[in-house]
Structure 1
């Protein structure tokens, strides 16, 4: 299945007159670290720009201050959420240093609320450990490492050469939805494979994956019931987020270089164009 603007439009939740901030979805975010603090800022800012009732950020005061400086509407108190995003900007080795260990401890709260969950970077190892609907967002190198834990020897280059095969195989093994990032992004679960149009090469910039995680999280949080009710909805949400991510990047680029922050600035316009 090739994803399109028309298909994306069906996944963007438009607020109704009776909606309030809680009914519009609440996204819980566990991202960023002492090594990569910018990931916390980028993922939360992207979620806010995508449109969700509330973003809750889980962290120590240091990262929280950075997030609030960029997005003062983010809530830094724990509470109920309708989706999780975790792992962006956090290294996978939780014993790398003390601050990383502290960030990994926050992952324990994910299982306390059985809502749609997006795992990126340092949280990918949780992929087969959660009971709720789970989406993982690895690039080829991360997927190769993840599959290696299950005795499957494959290189990042081999995955990049045949992304549909390896995204599907990972989805089958782990029982999750897989968004395999790359110039040819693929989304797969054990039933369907979705191919995204080729993305702009300008997206190959630091922090763009953190932005994507925030977009996915926001759309998932506004589609909680739909994801819990349909086996394929999470894949469709992931494809929609990737489509919007690329469209925002193209709006920011206009044929020239961009930064992750520039992509965030163009997310609302990208969504307006999808909904038009």
Structure 2
């Protein structure tokens, strides 16, 4: 039986702070994203937007072409270039809006270099296949389908009686990092076997692009909390993401039906979610 801790507003508050006069853009957290593609430039836009809205002090987008143009059109504050230069990155976000089947050898090498470093990495979607052997602290963020494929590829399928909690622990131990399994009840596990459940959400969150927003939020929280456990930072990012979705959809209480939202609505509501935690 796996013991599960439910993540709360007060837990999240430990990962969110108001800037003080001595802060600068670097101390507030630097997030670098290598996400999106010509086929899916929107994923880059959503992740960058979320990182800014969740409180990052500096966001760097590493990409070219349609995705970089789309990012700058939406968020001109972003520094966009093919590499990071001398930027002191606090967290990476990789894989959102990419397809490993179409990934070049050069892109694979660049992603592996990130994973071989010491900066925390949020590994999403099209980069999940590169997790084996990663040296950097990391969290993978699969949805249920991606998680099942990862289990199959790695030979980690449990028995029919295995619970989701047991499954995320099994995978976290096998890959040597944190696993955030997205869902109506998000589960986060680390390699030591600790499991966190994040239940702050709304069914309206089940829409395209919200996973890209989540990756950006987690990146911002990781960058701002370099000494904290990756799994707890990821849980805090998931809680903020779910709370922002509730705000955006008008779900103030359990009795409220709410209304449809799109992913950018969730990103736009992140400052209010942060303010709620700080209050």
The alignment's TM-score, normalised by the length of structure 1, stands at 0.89
User: Helix, strand or coil: the match of 1:216?
Assistant: helix
Alignment of 1:91 with 2:99, yes or no, is yes
Alignment of 1:71 with 2:75, yes or no, is yes
Alpha-carbon RMSD across the aligned residues, in angstroms, is 2.0
Alignment of 1:128-147 (within 5 A): 128-147=132-151
Alignment of 1:262 with 2:265, yes or no, is yes
* Alpha-carbon offset, residue 162 of structure 1: 2.9
The alignment's TM-score, normalised by the length of structure 2, stands at 0.88
Q: 1:198-234: CA deviations, max 9, x gaps?
A: 621100000000000000001101112x13xxxxx21
Q: 1:170 to 1:146 in 2, by over 3 A?
A: same
Q: Which sections of structure 1, spanning at least 5 residues, go unmatched?
A: 228-232
Alignment of 1:235 with 2:226, yes or no, is no
Equivalent position to 1:126, from 124, 130, 136: 130
* Alpha-carbon offset, residue 102 of structure 1: 6.0
User: Helix, strand or coil: the match of 2:66?
Assistant: helix
Q: Is the 8 A contact 1:22 1:54 kept in 2?
A: yes
The structure that is helix-richer by fraction is: 1
* Alpha-carbon offset, residue 101 of structure 1: 5.9
Q: Is the 8 A contact 2:200 2:239 kept in 1?
A: no
Q: Is the 8 A contact 2:172 2:191 kept in 1?
A: yes
Q: Is the 8 A contact 1:128 1:176 kept in 2?
A: no
Structure-1 separation of matches of 2:51 and 2:113: 20
Q: Which moved more, 1:1-10 or 1:119-128?
A: 119-128
Structure-1 separation of matches of 2:189 and 2:116: 26
The residue number in structure 1 matching 2:253 is: none
The residue number in structure 1 matching 2:30 is: 26
The residue number in structure 2 matching 1:45 is: 49
User: Helix, strand or coil: the match of 1:93?
Assistant: helix
Structure-1 separation of matches of 2:156 and 2:136: 25
Alignment of 1:53-68 (within 5 A): 53-68=57-72
Structure-2 separation of matches of 1:243 and 1:145: 25
The residue number in structure 2 matching 1:230 is: none
Q: 1:57 to 1:241 in 2, by over 3 A?
A: same
Q: Which sections of structure 2, spanning at least 5 residues, go unmatched?
A: 251-257
User: Helix, strand or coil: the match of 1:195?
Assistant: strand
Q: Which moved more, 1:191-200 or 1:211-220?
A: 191-200
